Amino acid sequence: MLERLQTAPGAELVLAAVGEEPGVHAVGGAVRDVLLDRVPRELDLVVEGDAIPVARRAAARISGRLTVHERFGTATVRADGYEFDLASARRETYPRPGALPEVALGATIAEDLARRDFTVNALAVRLADGELTAWPGARDDLGARLLRVLHDRSFIDDPTRMLRLVRYAARLGFAPEPHTAALVDPALLATVSGERLGAELRLLLQEPGGLAALGPLGPALLGEGFRVPERLPASPLAALAACCVDVDGLAERLDALGFTARERKLVVAAAEAAGRLRLGGASDAELWRELHRLPPEAAEILAAAGEPAARRWLDVVRHRRLEITGDDIIRAGLSGEAVGAGLEAAMTAMLDGRAPGAEAQLAAALDSRRLP
């Protein structure tokens, strides 16, 4: 186990800093991934006892920089371009559904595992000797490729775990255990802040197939217009836009989920355009007129839906460039809005095959003065 944990990014630094500390454990996804013969993404570390003095000793060993959060019993060590967190083992209780947990330090590693989301993440390896601590049934669920909550109130306490259920299912190819699947209740999402839901949605967007696995959680997050098409674009925001067939109120929903103004504008514009455009056998010039002012995500949606013209725009047409610039048009006597109109006329002529070179493109630009 310890040898395989060393394949994680920064693991050599972590082991040099805390590998001989008796109470330090790697927990959660890193241990799960090692048991699945995968390379861990990162090492999450939990200390039985007080993590802060351990972190101070760790920083001294590797000449690292230390940031301490006394109130939370956590610390961050940075050195050689890496950083890792050390957290004191803790117990958590939830004062009400969807609330942030109340934390009590001084827990054992077994008690710390009890606050995890799924059994396959309730795993810990002690770095000093490689001893594995696992929640009952965790190894069996790992072998059966099942995602199982630790107790029946899990989604009530923290409804974001339902989104993590979808994310892990997409990433690992695991299935929700039937009783766990029956506990999913989209109405519980209403008890969680939009910011927390948006953070989970962003992580889900990074997982291929994540949106397709949302099921009834999708409309609860993004409105009743949420539909997953047969094929989704690869880029996350384009995939999100492709699922939002009703743009009415979409910007407000994205705002509540913490998306930036630029992201909201992009997703709404792409969803609206993809819903109305039908490119068919459009020429290159027609593609340019329809698409050059739209975000590329709109064309990505159409391409994923099987529109070859949209794929041609993305791969070829949008990358073509004129041999003239606005400066050339100004030197030829145009100014103001006529410069932009001239560039558009030159681009259309080039894409139509009427202006392959600079001289013909400039002529097309100047001819635009005589157009009505």
Interval 281-302: pLDDT, tens: 899 999 999 999 999 999 999 9
What is the pTM for the complete model shown?
A: 0.88
Contact between 313 and 299 (Cβ < 8 Å):
yes
pLDDT of residue 72: 85
pLDDT of residue 100: 87
| Residue 31 token pair | 């241990």
User: What tens digit of pLDDT does each residue of 329-346 get?
Assistant: 999 999 999 999 999 999
pLDDT of residue 370: 65
List, in sequence order, the alpha helices (H) in the chain: 2-5, 11-18, 29-35, 51-61, 109-113, 138-144, 154-157, 160-172, 178-183, 194-205, 217-222, 236-242, 250-256, 261-276, 284-291, 296-304, 308-315, 326-331, 337-351, 358-367
Q: At what angle do helices 358-367 and 337-351 cross, to 10 degrees?
A: 130
**pLDDT at residue 91 tops 90:** yes
Q: How confident is the model at residue 163 (pLDDT cuts 50, 70, 90)?
A: very high
**pLDDT at residue 372 tops 90:** no
**Residue 49, φ and ψ in degrees, nearest 5:** 115, -150
pLDDT of residue 1: 87
List C-alpha distances in Å: 54 to 77, 81, 113, 133.
Answer: 11, 20, 20, 21
pLDDT of residue 97: 87
The amino acid occupying position 114 is A
Q: How confident is the model at residue 16 (pLDDT cuts 50, 70, 90)?
A: very high
